[in-house]
Amino acid sequence: MRGEYAAVTSWFGVLLIVGQAGQTAAVCFYVARDPQRARGYVATSRAMMLVTGAVALVCGLLAAPVLAHSNSALADVYRLIFAGSVLGFLGGSYTSSLQAGSIRRWNLARLSQPAFGLAGIVLLWRLRLLSLNTVIVVLMVSTTIQLGYAYYWCRRSELAPGHFRPELVMPLVRYGVTQLTAVAPATVNAYLDQLVLSQIVPPADLGRYAIAVSITLLPVPAVSAIGNVAFPRLAAQRTVSADSHRLQRAAMLTSAGAASAILLPVAAIAHWLVPFVFGPGYQGAVPLLWILTPGGVFLACGQVAGDLLRGLGRPGLVAAAQGLAAIFTVILLIALLPVAGVAGAAIASTVAYGVALAVMIRSLWRPAFRPLVRTKQPPQAGDHGTGEREASITECPTASRTENTWGVSMTIRELVRPLPGVRQISLLRQRLTFTGSAHYWEQNYAQGATSGAGSFGTLGKGKSRFLNNLIRERSVGDIIEFGCGDGYQLAMADYPSYIGLDVSRTAIGLCQQRFADDPAKSFFLYDGSCFTDRAGIFTADLALSLDVIYHLTEDAVFETYLRHLFAAGQRLVVIYSTNMETSDTAPHVRHRRFTPWVEANCPGWTLTEVTRGPNTDYARADFFVYERA
């Protein structure tokens, strides 16, 4: 049964890839690049996949008797699994869109299918009902569960429901077609050996080969998490700097190390492991496993390299690498299969994976630093001047160098975090060393870190755009901010007069240095326990709090901070924060509902406006505007 199952699922995988027409990568790319139209991209991509999927489904149903060699029972299995591909097409757009906004939710949706599928297979085995037909039914049921789960998280992340938008079709088609040209040869490299063997060798030989391939794929889910994190983050950036090479090098070395650490020990004990797990009849899979082990490392690293290139907006280079590897696969299969049989297929796969990886690494290391998207940005509502002025802020030599260094170092940690157990170990380490919010931020800045991702890129620009518009519309004369941080967010602001307070002495020093020539800005060290301002010295038209409240983990600190914030605002208080309770966060993060506290303890203030923030994640921060009654 293993040989037939390998053949059926291999052809099913090919059908999914062809029917999805590259839209899984396209929707992730554009949801990350253009979050304001995320719902439209998801809905449009889903409709497109249903059309292309229907064509692929018809072709698959017609080909079922040929693939089954006129075996009517096996042909029915092919028809069943091909019919269930519609679920995969529907779920593809929802699952992929989550990758752009929340890696955690994307992983939950992605892993729901194999988790439920494995549970169903174990149950069938215990009930002695395990057969090819029942396994396929379990696959369809688990795919349905994944579809529902992904849609649930899309609704929670406000990525659904949406409506089909014709103007989004061409961008999705262009990216999808380029992606498909890369995926098609990659699919040849991944499946051609088993597809060919399914037609020319006995099922028992194919079963042993499938076991060897399955074992060498063990590192792929863990290592691919690195590329899965990097892809949407690179897609969200508009430019590529020299520091990007550091990120790429670290990602590739980490993936190679992780893949080797997983696979080499398994290969070392394969002589005893394979017969013990699968039975003595599969001893012949051990030599195949040894041949495929380097290929398994190459394949895992190649997926990361491909995600890096796709995130940089260069999927065509992935297509070229995989196309060259596909040529090697075909030539080597023709040359080696008559001589070495299934061992020849193993050699062909390993060489092809190595060729693809080498070409993609060469493409990553090529010095091509240019804008990811060569489009002239039009002026946004509320901007002063043109889009070029806004770009000049982020490209000044000093700020750019620090920002890129921060982006690389932080992203490396985020790349590794999805690996199994890494997040849990990291949280435990942080909880053991956490001694309070004020000490945490002083230590953070003293070690050269920054205020966080919210001060840069799309998030930083989105906050500045909202605040600059608000200040002009409300004729605000001066601003006082409780939690100014390192000043990167402030550099994008257009404030007539500004006072910045922060608990970190290092952060205040950074701001004093950064704005040394700006007479409109002043900075002071803030200690809530030593702050008493009965004379109203520290007051302004607008009191501001950006990304601070959910970092106040202590109740006393939280309440004192809010009292000082609202006491400092003469007309307006603007808070940018989450307003919900969530768990499983880092020790320096505590999401909570702050609006009930303000309503109960600040009777002179009224919440007059809540505006959605630029972040698309579920734990999203929004703008809360309060006016003094």
Q: Is the residue at 174 inside a domain?
A: no
Domain boundary among 104, 131, 164: 164
Q: For residue 421, what pLDDT is reported?
A: 59
Q: For residue 600, what pLDDT is reported?
A: 93
Mean pLDDT, the chain cut into blocks of 10 residues (629 residues total)? 63 72 81 81 85 77 78 79 78 82 77 85 84 82 88 83 88 81 64 68 75 84 76 62 65 87 91 85 86 91 86 78 84 85 86 90 64 39 36 32 35 53 65 81 87 80 92 94 93 93 94 93 94 93 94 93 96 93 78 92 93 74 92
Helical spans, DSSP H, in 84-218: 85-101, 103-126, 132-156, 169-200, 203-216
Q: How far is CA 297 from CA 16, 262, 499, in A?
A: 25, 9, 54
Q: Please give the full DSSP string across 337-354, using - where no structure is assigned.
A: HHHHTHHHHHHHHHHHHH
> Is 448 found in the same domain as 312?
no
> Is 522 found in the same domain as 450?
yes
Q: How many helices and strands in the chain, by DSSP H and E?
A: 23, 7
pTM for the model stands at 0.51
Nearest to 363 by CA among 255, 238, 248, 254: 248
Domain boundary among 420, 455, 485: 420
Q: Is the residue at 383 inside a domain?
A: no
Q: How far is CA 355 from CA 42, 270, 544, in A?
A: 34, 26, 55
CA distance 149 to 43: 17
Domain boundary among 132, 164, 196: 164
> Is 533 found in the same domain as 444?
yes
Q: For residue 293, give both structure tokens.
A: 């082990």
Q: Is residue 236 left, alpha or beta, with left meaning phi > 0 and alpha meaning psi from -120 to 50?
A: alpha
> Is 441 found in the same domain as 398?
no
> Is 42 found in the same domain as 104?
yes
Burial zone of 546 (CB within 10 Å; 0-12 exposed, 13-18 middle, 19+ buried): buried
Listed as own residue / partner, the contacts of 533-540 with beta carbons closer than 8 Å and 24 or more positions apart are: 533/564, 533/567, 533/568, 538/480, 538/499, 538/501, 538/568, 539/480, 539/567, 539/568, 539/569, 539/570, 540/477, 540/478, 540/479, 540/480, 540/497, 540/499, 540/568, 540/569, 540/570
Q: Is the residue at 488 inside a domain?
A: yes
> To 5 degrees, how large is the angle CA 95–CA 96–CA 97?
95
Q: For residue 375, what pLDDT is reported?
A: 38
Burial zone of 245 (CB within 10 Å; 0-12 exposed, 13-18 middle, 19+ buried): middle
> Is 594 found in the same domain as 460?
yes
Work out how many domains the chain is built from and give that number. 3
> Is 330 found in the same domain as 445?
no
Cβ(80)–Cβ(7) below 8 Å: no
Burial zone of 621 (CB within 10 Å; 0-12 exposed, 13-18 middle, 19+ buried): buried
> Is 453 found in the same domain as 364?
no
Q: For residue 211, give both structure tokens.
A: 């076991």
Q: Is the residue at 387 inside a domain?
A: no
Q: Is the residue at 616 inside a domain?
A: yes
Q: Is the residue at 269 inside a domain?
A: yes
| 3-state secondary structure string across 7-45 | HHHHHHHHHHHHHHCCHHHHHHHHHHHCHHHHHHHHHHH
Q: For residue 433, what pLDDT is reported?
A: 72
Q: Is the residue at 623 inside a domain?
A: yes
* Helix, strand, or coil (residue 626): strand
**At 527, which CATH number?**
3.40.50.150
Per-residue b/e over 364-378, b at no fewer than 16 CB within 10 Å?
Answer: beeeeeeebeeeeee
> Is 127 found in the same domain as 187?
no
> Is 468 found in the same domain as 409?
no
Q: Please give the full DSSP string across 564-579, using - where no structure is assigned.
A: HHHHHEEEEEEEEE--
Q: Range of 328's domain?
A: 179-369+393-420
Burial zone of 47 (CB within 10 Å; 0-12 exposed, 13-18 middle, 19+ buried): middle
CA distance 285 to 269: 13
Cβ(372)–Cβ(312) below 8 Å: yes
Q: Is the residue at 224 inside a domain?
A: yes
Q: For residue 94, what pLDDT is reported?
A: 86
> To 5 degrees, how large is the angle CA 180–CA 186–CA 192?
120
Burial zone of 399 (CB within 10 Å; 0-12 exposed, 13-18 middle, 19+ buried): middle
Nearest to 572 by CA among 497, 625, 500, 498: 625
Q: For residue 423, what pLDDT is reported?
A: 63
> Is 148 found in the same domain as 264?
no
> Is 198 found in the same domain as 144?
no
